[in-house]
Amino acid sequence: MLGRRRIGTLVVVALLAIPALALASGPKLPKSGHWKITGEGVGSGGTFKISGKYVSDVKMPGQNCNLPEVSVPGRQKMRLISQGGYSNWVIGTSDPSRKKPYDIGGVVGLRVKVHSGGKTYAGRLEFIFGILGHASENDGDLYVGSCVIPFTPVR
């Protein structure tokens, strides 16, 4: 009887450890340092900085929203989320139901304050790093009120 309990305990531990190991071997954090915002998004020409699990100093053109340069003060923590068999480092929260407002690609942007032209606006910031397991495929959006500034972060 005692042997069966030990085997049952080992099976339970193994079943719990396998998903934990899968998450532990997930994607690497994006590289620390200064990043650029390029590509076809209207936020092209901006910059930001990554330090460990934090993104900071986000700045980009705001002409898409009829604003001068926009910036997001402070630092925002990246989270590792898993959906559809892929794991990604993101700024924002997971929305697997994809029913929440501001949801793009299963991620809802993090609420932030946006500074532009001496004024402060309510906004949402969303980064997705390593789309579909490709470290060089990154995407982002900055919402300023009801206006959106799409961008592509690159190292």
3-state class (DSSP) for residue 155: coil
Q: How many angstroms separate the CA atoms of 96 and 16, rounded?
A: 22
* pLDDT over 60 (residue 7): no
Burial class (CB in 10 A: 0-12, 13-18, 19+), 153: buried
- Cα pseudo-dihedral 19, 23, 25, 30, rounded to 10: 170
* pLDDT over 90 (residue 136): no
Give the residues across from 98 on adjacent strands.
none
- 90-111: pLDDT as tens digits: 999 887 666 666 555 678 889 9
Model pTM score: 0.76
Radius of gyration of the chain (CA): 19
pLDDT in the model for residue 73: 95
Between 79-88, 94-103, 108-117, the lowest mean confidence (pLDDT) is in 94-103
Q: Looking at residues 19-33, what average pLDDT do you find?
A: 71
